[in-house]
Amino acid sequence: SKLLGDVTIANGGVMPNIHNLLLPKNTGPSSKAAAEDE
């Protein structure tokens, strides 16, 4: 989890996006919104 923490900090607050990716809900349309956000 330490690696993920460093990545989130490096991205600058992408923690919510990562959590969404981990969650199964990513299969929904939310995945496209998150991808576009990045």
Nearest by Cα to 20 from 6, 36, 10, 2: 36
Confidence at residue 11, expressed as pLDDT on a 0 to 100 scale:
56
Q: What pLDDT does residue 27 have?
A: 57
pLDDT of the residue at 37: 55
Segments forming the whole domain that contains residue 16:
2-37
Number of domains in the chain: 1
Looking at residue 33, what is its pLDDT?
A: 57
Q: Looking at residue 15, what is its pLDDT?
A: 60
pLDDT digits (tens, 9 = 90+) for 1-38: 566 656 555 555 556 666 666 766 545 565 555 556 55
Q: Are 26 and 34 in contact (CB under 8 A)?
A: yes
